[in-house]
A and B are shown apart, each in its own frame.
Chain A
Amino acid sequence: MPLRRFAVLAFCLLCLAPAAPARAHPHMWIDARARLVFDAAGRLAAVRQVWLFDEMSSAYSLQGLVRAADGEYAAKDLQSMADDWVAALGEPQSHYFTWVERRGRTLDFGPPAGARVRWDQAAGRVSLSFELPLKAPASPAGGAFEVRVFDPTYFVAYDFTASGAVALEAAPAGCRAAYLPPQPLDPDSALRLAAVPADAPLPDDLQAIAGKLSHRIEVRCP
């Protein structure tokens, strides 16, 4: 069999062969800001975020709500939108798209607080703010924290690159937050990740790789 034909055929089969789960492409862009809030005892107590949606998905999410003549929306409509969103984000598979980890362990969140949707008419954009308290505030003495923000379905693309997008609040002196942008996935890891069933735990090295796909905030205290 001539090599050329074999190559053509192989290409053909390659295109049809299931190889890796596809990454959907984003349809929603969020300019995000995160505040890591410490309590009086100097422990990390909460993650406070503001997610500013792009204009198109803002319009989509406001669709069907009654808009007043002045272009504003009723406060109760926006509040019920905020409550619905936070409730949906709280489903286990979404996990608020936010994970606080230390030494590879995820710290549990308590019930979210302060969920609010604001409508910026001039910009035509909606924002959602909410706070995720840690169930048990964690002392920085136990090691550095890693806060990850990430939509595993890739429907949402987050952006933390604005200046001041990541900040610490009431942190003990000397604490620093470093923002690490997502790393592209190398093809081999993509294939290995693809081979793991969705509900199975990831091996440690893969977990480390998967973690780098998200926006990461490293918090270190002296």
Chain B
Amino acid sequence: MSAPGRPKRASSTSRLACRSDSPGWGRSSRTVPSPGSSLGEAVAPRQGGTPLPAPVRRVSPWALGLALAVLAAWAGAAAAQGGHPFGQPEAAGWQPGGWLGRVFGQIALWQSHFYRQLTGAVHAWRQDGHAAWMLIGLSFAYGIFHALGPGHGKAVISAYVLANRQTARNGAVLALLSALVQALAAIALVTVAAGVLNLTGAAMNRATLWLEIGSYALVTALGLWLVWTRIGQPLCAGLGRRRAGAGPGGAAPLPMGFAALSASGGNGGGPGKGDGAGAGGSYLGRARLACPAPSGGLWACGCRQAHFAPPALVAGRLGAGRAWTAVLAVGLRPCSGALIVLVFALSQGLYAAGVVSALAMGLGTGLTVAVLAALALAASRAALGLGAKAAWGARLYRIVEGLAALAVLALGLALLGGALAMAGLAGGN
């Protein structure tokens, strides 16, 4: 597993990226001062809006991710429940219970309603090219309701956007991109496996399972990274800070490491680029250099990485590497509905209908996920609005952010464990 971020900048830049909104940080007893370190002057004047170097991290969290994934595989294999005789059902992750459960039941009905009409729509297209619009419309509607139902896509995108303080615009871009990738994955799989190699449906189910494992491994990796940056590092930093005592002018130490967090909480998650950049500016205005030379090791976390990337960094642009991880995590596993429609269209000698249908499904799915991600953002911003007035409001936001990160990790581990268990069982047969 390679780190898909934007890594490997020169190490001097990486040191420059270290900063803190709390002057006391650098005194963490975990860090080792390097001779002649006077980077403080070099860094402090940076202004918001300037693209900052990406936080450089070591491979360790990813290696840790791999190790955890292997563990999950073992755990999952122990509880193997086995494959499905006819297909490769989508692991659905979780869905809310209660009244929301009833809503989901209704959504599933609508979804099935549209899906079952796709057969007729493909036939109609074969009779009359104008009926293409019916297929497109039905596929689009199916996609919309499909994404409202259970599935890992919306959970991953929403949580990623929340935990990363992305803007609604970026969330929408991520959602649409991942849905497009998912549609293209289905088209590519069926084109190659069925169209070119003429593999059986069972062989395609196995291929789907492997794509699924890749997808869930990425979710897990993303979750690990989010948990590390949103929870691990802040906690670690908070501990270091407590050990060193409050720095000059610093706030009194608070439990759970959130003291360090609350200071910048009110700035994050601005709705737009301008907002984000402004917030970033004030954030950086308070920044002090807190970073001596790299002391090495995963747990020397007081430094080396931006603990809370200012919105200018995360929201201004998508951060190609990690964003693609999220997009691939969602999009790599093709949707079963799209696969079946594509194979059916192929069997009818009308492959174009399948391709158009899969793309229309993807558009519907992407729009729904975009709306859901925006809702999640709006909700967290409402909470964030308090941050300006009360420090604990900001802390609450940090908790939301941390929970979102944990949710991605938990979802990834659960899905990966299940998929690997299924693969183990399929291989054993």
Contacts and interface: CB of A to CB of B under 8 A. Distances in A.
Interface residues of B, number: 73
A63 B200 contact: yes
A46 B199 CA distance: 36
Interface string B329-352: 000000011011101101110000
B265 to A, nearest CB: 14
A160 B318 CA distance: 51
A196 B204 CA distance: 32
Contact of B383 (A5, A88, A89): A5
A210 interface: no
B404 A16 contact: yes
Contact of A19 (B94, B115, B400): B94
Interface residues of A, number: 55
A157 B386 CA distance: 48
B376 A15 contact: yes
Contact of A155 (B89, B96, B162): B89
A22 B92 contact: yes
Interface stretch (B32-40, B104-112, B235-243): B104-112
Contacts of A94: 82, 84-85
B403 interface: yes
B95 A19 contact: yes
B213 to A, nearest CB: 17
Contacts of A65: 200
B202 interface: yes
Interface stretch (A102-110, A173-181, A187-195): A187-195
A190 B117 CA distance: 29
A13 B100 CA distance: 13
Interface string A68-104: 0000000000000000110011011110000000000
A61 B86 contact: yes
Contacts of A203: none
Interface of B: 79, 81-87, 89-102, 104-105, 108, 111-112, 115-116, 118-119, 146, 149-151, 155, 158-159, 162, 194, 198-204, 336-337, 339-341, 343-344, 346-348, 372, 376, 378-380, 382-383, 385-386, 393, 396, 400, 403-404, 407, 410
Given A18-B94, A19-B96, 18 more contacts: A4-B382, A12-B162, A16-B155, A17-B407, A20-B101, A22-B95, A24-B89, A24-B150, A25-B112, A25-B149, A56-B119, A57-B87, A59-B344, A64-B194, A64-B201, A153-B89, A155-B86, A191-B101
